Structure 1
Amino acid sequence: MGYFTPVYTSELPHRARSVYMYLRDHAGKGGKCFPAIGTIARELNLSRSTVKRAIVDLEQSGHLRKEQRWRENGGKSSNLYCIKQLDSS
């Protein structure tokens, strides 16, 4: 069984599947990563709006938790994404 088989067989829209696989591929052992929306969009050849919609899809389906990160000066930084591994059942 393939690593992403649960994603392929899920009800997620294709945009969410692509972003999930990207985030999962970039996550550390704890399932966390923090790429910028623009980086995800550029590397997947998607628009920023499409990536944002995909992240909402993943949050609503329970496959992802997003946390805002902040710089020391109070400015926003990239989000922290906590990826939930999909079951292969």
Structure 2
Amino acid sequence: MYFYKKVSSANISPTAKTVYRALLYYANRETWSCFPSIATLSKDTGLSKRTIIRQIAVLEKEDLLLRIHRTREKNNGKTSNIYFLN
């Protein structure tokens, strides 16, 4: 409930709140981390991939989210980011 209240009272757009709530859906309830792809978030919210990316940046700037870029060990290829809800 803490995270719902935190995002509801944040001074961010309804679109950013939608992305945050989508991330919250996937979050591990012990670590508050998750790693859905941008495509998954886009599908879940109905927002474009570009909009998801922009709103994640807003959430980071507002200190509601910590994003860590991940790469594959074998070839350093990109994989989904890991997000920690603050």
Q: TM-score, normalised to structure 2's length?
A: 0.88
* 1:24-51 C-alpha deviation (Å, 9 max, x unpaired): 1211020110011111011110000110
The answer on 1:24 being equivalent to 2:24 is yes
SS at match of 1:4: helix
Rounded Cα–Cα distance in structure 2 between residues aligned with 1:68 and 1:11: 26
Q: Find 2:83's aligned residue among 67, 81, 84.
A: 81
- Return the alpha-carbon distance in structure 1 between the equivalents of residues 60 and 3 of structure 2: 21
**Which has the higher relative contact order, 1 or 2, with Cα contacts under 8 A spaced 6 or more apart?**
1
TM superposition shift of 1:8: 2.2
Instruction: Check if 1:44 corresponds to 2:45.
Output: yes
How far apart are the structure 1 equivalents of 2:2 and 2:33? 21
Measured after TM superposition, the shift of residue 7 of structure 1 is 2.0
Q: How many angstroms apart in 2 are the aligned matches of 1:67 and 1:5?
A: 24
| Superposed CA RMSD | 1.7
Structure 2 unmatched ranges of 5 or more: none
Structure 1 position 2, deviation (Å): 8.3
Q: Which runs of 5+ in 1 are unaligned?
A: 85-89
**Structure 1 CA distance for aligned equivalents of residues 62 and 2 of structure 2:** 21
